């Protein structure tokens, strides 16, 4: 391993499960003396009473604290280092968001509180909807879906409800191979079937291809689901013409907003012809992502889809005394119904709102510009030693292939990714998108400095050099971790999903 100044020895994972700690009879609870009559539990529960112990961990408080603190220290997170996962938009989570989410009126609001007791929370939701609608050029937003894929599901449910109202039931959805990976699953869950659109030579969807599929499935196309920029990091430059054509043929246009970080403040999906889309607050709008969640996937839509949005909807009404107040409206006969308990992941809405107010319109534009600049800067360095899938100006991410290094040394994407861990970096997204052989997908986001991007690129360059001189070291990586290369195939073929006392770990 070369001596890079800013690389640290790898990730470290080694901690017994909490069930293997402690000793019989030890506990961390100190209960008061029983001052009520004892209850015969077995008598009350009959056959349901537990006969053997539940085998809960028997540990003292320091053991509990150390166990979970160690686990947290051995974790890798956006708070510890650069997270270049393409397509994931792993950006910094500003601390001001956390401050806002912990304000008692937000953090302690009870989900069953009546509307009159949570006016501030409802107002925040109404304001967030307005801001998100403005950013994407749509008419309104439902904040309820709990994650991006649930947003897709909800958007497609609304599309189906729209067609049902018109007395139609088209069953097919066109999905380019460069769209987000969750799109076909969202179709399937909706009882729709995906019609894949093969990747064009230029990487973007071509209008002729769409026209062909529309013809082939005439009358049965509910929508096209298009991700812009697409998973190759390219702007779908034909989108307005494609949207026009799909609309002419009676279909709708669903926009996957997962990559909105490259457009925010600069281009509006609604202006490009999209009818309904989801946001990923945990990507674009800096709420925690990847284990720190939960996520939040609001759906934005044009006004003709408003009747179908999930309920309840926050509405502003004039009260008897003439003063406006917010209410939760359930009386929407055409709604697709509720998709999430209560109002959705409210804490994420507060964080996103705090971010949006902190940034303002100019700040959002600047964030987008820097996200694109950072991706192009990283791409310009990396393409010196790894072939870039599309050698043109990229948006927020760029994709590279292992084909040259694999041909020359036998080292492939998986090996390069594992070796990144030895250099103290989280690997990029690998083997996605599927349309690039041995893909490595990198997305630095606007929150990484030039130095961090340089250190990351230097480490990757060092590994590609190393592959030529000493391929075995790279193929057997990682070496600087508690556990070496995991047998992923065996884990998938014979998974052990739960710890049990008899299992020899």
Whether the Cβ atoms of residue 354 and residue 303 lie closer than 8 Å to each other: no
Find the distance separating the first CA and the last CA of the chain, reported in whole Å: 30
Instruction: By CB under 8 A, name the one of 44, 493, 498, 503 that touches other proteins.
Output: 493
Smallest distance, Å, CB 473 to other proteins? Answer: 20
38 in contact with other proteins (CB under 8 A): no
Buried b (16+ CB within 10 A) or exposed e, 59-92: beeebeeebeeeeeeeebbbeebbbbbbbbbbbe
Part in contact with other proteins (CB under 8 A); list of ranges 126-134, 162-170, 321-329, 430-438: 430-438
317 in contact with other proteins (CB under 8 A): no
Instruction: By CB under 8 A, name the one of 19, 385, 390, 431 that touches other proteins.
Output: 431
390 in contact with other proteins (CB under 8 A): no
70 in contact with other proteins (CB under 8 A): no
497 in contact with other proteins (CB under 8 A): no
In whole angstroms, what is the distance from residue 229 CA to residue 204 CA? 9
Determine if the peptide bond prior to 74 is cis (ω within 30°): no
Smallest distance, Å, CB 344 to other proteins? Answer: 30
Instruction: By CB under 8 A, name the one of 193, 414, 458, 471 that touches other proteins.
Output: 414
434 in contact with other proteins (CB under 8 A): yes
Part in contact with other proteins (CB under 8 A); list of ranges 4-12, 84-92, 476-484, 488-496: 488-496
Q: What is the CA angle 142-145-151, rounded to 5? A: 90
201 in contact with other proteins (CB under 8 A): no
Instruction: By CB under 8 A, name the one of 437, 472, 482, 484 that touches other proteins.
Output: 437
Smallest distance, Å, CB 212 to other proteins? Answer: 16
Q: Judged by CB, which is closer to other proteins: 4, or 414?
A: 414
Q: Where are any strands of DSSP class E within 405-505?
A: 429-430, 440-442
320 in contact with other proteins (CB under 8 A): no
Q: Judged by CB, which is closer to other proteins: 127, or 403?
A: 403
Main-chain phi, psi angles of 328, to 5 degrees:
-100, 115
27 in contact with other proteins (CB under 8 A): no
# residues contacting other proteins (CB under 8 A)? 9
Q: Judged by CB, which is closer to other proteins: 178, or 238?
A: 178
3-class secondary-structure state, position 392? coil
Two tokens, residue 473? 């070291």
403 in contact with other proteins (CB under 8 A): yes
Whether the Cβ atoms of residue 413 and residue 439 lie closer than 8 Å to each other: yes
Part in contact with other proteins (CB under 8 A); list of ranges 263-271, 339-347, 375-383, 487-495: 487-495
What are the C-alpha distances in Å from 155 to residues 149, 219, 306, 418, 457? 10, 20, 11, 37, 38
Buried b (16+ CB within 10 A) or exposed e, 156-177: bbbbbbbbeeeeeebebbbbbb
Whether the Cβ atoms of residue 253 and residue 224 lie closer than 8 Å to each other: yes
Residues interacting with other proteins, by CB under 8 A?
403, 414, 431, 434, 437, 488-489, 492-493
């Amino acid at each position: 391993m070369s001596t890079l100044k800013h690389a640290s020895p790898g990730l470290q994972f080694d901690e017994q499960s909490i069930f293997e700690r402690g000793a019989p009879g030890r506990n961390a609870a100190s209960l008061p003396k029983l001052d009520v009559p004892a209850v015969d539990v077995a008598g009350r529960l009959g056959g349901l009473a537990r006969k053997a112990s539940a085998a809960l961990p028997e540990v003292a408080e320091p053991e509990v604290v150390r166990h979970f603190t160690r686990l947290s220290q051995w974790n890798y997170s956006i708070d510890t280092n650069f997270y270049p996962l393409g397509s994931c938009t792993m950006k910094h989570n500003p601390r001001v968001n956390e401050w806002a989410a912990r304000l008692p009126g937000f953090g302690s609001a009870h989900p069953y509180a009546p509307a009159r007791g949570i006016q501030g929370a409802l107002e925040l939701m109404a304001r967030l909807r307005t801001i998100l609608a403005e950013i994407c050029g749509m008419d309104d937003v439902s904040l309820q879906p709990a994650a991006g894929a649930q947003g897709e599901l909800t958007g497609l449910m609304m599309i189906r409800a729209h067609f049902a109202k018109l007395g139609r039931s088209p069953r097919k959805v066109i999905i380019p191979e460069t769209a987000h990976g969750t799109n076909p699953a969202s179709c399937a869950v909706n009882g729709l079937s995906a019609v894949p659109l093969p990747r064009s030579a230029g990487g973007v969807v071509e209008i002729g291809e769409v026209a062909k599929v529309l013809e082939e499935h005439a009358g049965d196309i509910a929508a096209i689901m298009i991700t812009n920029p697409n998973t190759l990091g390219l702007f779908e430059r034909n989108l307005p013409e494609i949207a026009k054509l799909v609309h002419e043929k009676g279909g709708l246009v669903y926009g996957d907003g997962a990559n909105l970080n490259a457009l925010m403040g600069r281009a509006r999906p609604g202006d490009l012809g999209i009818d309904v889309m989801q946001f990923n607050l945990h990507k674009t709008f800096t709420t925690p992502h990847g284990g720190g969640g939960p996520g939040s996937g609001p759906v934005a839509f044009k006004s003709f889809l408003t009747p179908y949005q999930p309920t309840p909807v926050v509405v502003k009404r004039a009260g008897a005394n003439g003063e406006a107040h917010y209410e939760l409206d359930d009386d929407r006969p055409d709604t697709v119904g509720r998709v999430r308990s209560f109002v959705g992941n409210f804490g994420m809405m507060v964080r996103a709102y705090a971010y949006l107010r902190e940034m303002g319109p100019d700040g959002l534009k600047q964030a987008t510009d820097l996200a694109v600049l950072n991706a192009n800067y990283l791409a310009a360095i990396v393409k010196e030693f790894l072939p870039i899938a599309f050698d043109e100006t990229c948006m927020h991410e760029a994709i590279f292939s292992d084909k040259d290094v694999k041909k020359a040394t036998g080292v492939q994407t998986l090996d390069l990714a594992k070796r990144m861990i030895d250099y103290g970096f989280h690997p990029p997204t690998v083997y996605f998108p599927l349309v690039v052989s041995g893909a490595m997908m990198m997305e630095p986001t606007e929150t990484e400095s030039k130095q961090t991007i340089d250190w990351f690129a230097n480490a990757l360059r060092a590994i590609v050099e190393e592959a030529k001189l000493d391929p075995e070291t790279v193929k057997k990586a990682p070496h600087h971790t508690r556990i070496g290369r995991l047998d992923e195939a065996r884990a998938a073929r014979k998974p052990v999903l739960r710890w049990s006392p008899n299992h020899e770990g």
